[in-house]
Amino acid sequence: MTNDTTLFLGQWLRSPGTIGAVAPSSQRLAETVTAPVPHRGDPVVVELGPGTGAFTAEIQRRLDGRGRHLAVEINPKMAAILAARHPGVDVVVDDAAHLPRLLRERGLQGADAVVSGLPWASFSDETQTRLLEAVTSIMGPNAAFTTFAYSFAKRLRTARRFRQRLHGTFEEVVAGRTVWGNLPPAFVYHARRPKVTADPV
């Protein structure tokens, strides 16, 4: 196993409810989930649950020195590794539910893209609601929210609940094709245009 895979597995065994993955995401999944990062201008990209940086590296490649990249990681060990690998990224150890405050502290009005590696299917109903409210509160009018889910978990109750919540929260939700090259296979949700008042789920 690679060093990152060993780290993920160890951290997952310690806290499966917050890590949610036993291995880093593949390059193919990283390319798919970061597709909405704007190619022009100086966008603000917020990354949630970056882990050791599979998505981080692809976001940095797409930004190519432009804009701002804030990565919010709740696991201090992974955050330290991420900060060392990507000194140009603003890495903060915090709960993603605090996004509005984190942006205010940095003088940022909102995000142009929110890329999530959080384990949504592992979260309680209350946590899913709290985090999505934080995400939508920082999204600009043309912003995109992307996250991924493992294909094998589609039928789990918490995964179905999250899918319903996405549709209740955003006007547009598109599920992409399965990325078979990921371990395990996964697919990406692309969401835009938060509803003014989220539908009850």
Quick check: helix, strand or coil at residue 26?
Answer: coil
Mean pLDDT value of segment 59-71? 98
E strand residue ranges, 82-158: 90-93, 111-116, 139-150
Domain housing 131:
41-194
With beta carbons less than 8 A apart as the criterion, state whether 139 and 72 touch: no
- Find out whether 46 and 110 touch, Cβ atoms under 8 Å: no
pTM (2 d.p.):
0.86
Asked if residue 19 is part of any domain, the answer here is no
CATH number, domain of 173, equals 3.40.50.150
Determine, yes or no, domain membership for 30. no
Residue 67 lies in a domain: yes
Does 190 map to a domain?
yes
Is the residue at 4 inside a domain? no
179-193 confidence digits (pLDDT tens) = 998 888 999 999 999
Tell the residue number behind the tokens 């989930």, with chain if given: 33
Q: Is residue 20 assigned to a domain?
A: no
Q: What is the pLDDT of residue 129?
A: 93
Q: Is residue 85 part of a domain?
A: yes
Number of structural domains (the chain) is: 1
pLDDT digits (tens, 9 = 90+) for 112-126: 999 999 999 889 999
In a domain, 25, yes or no: no
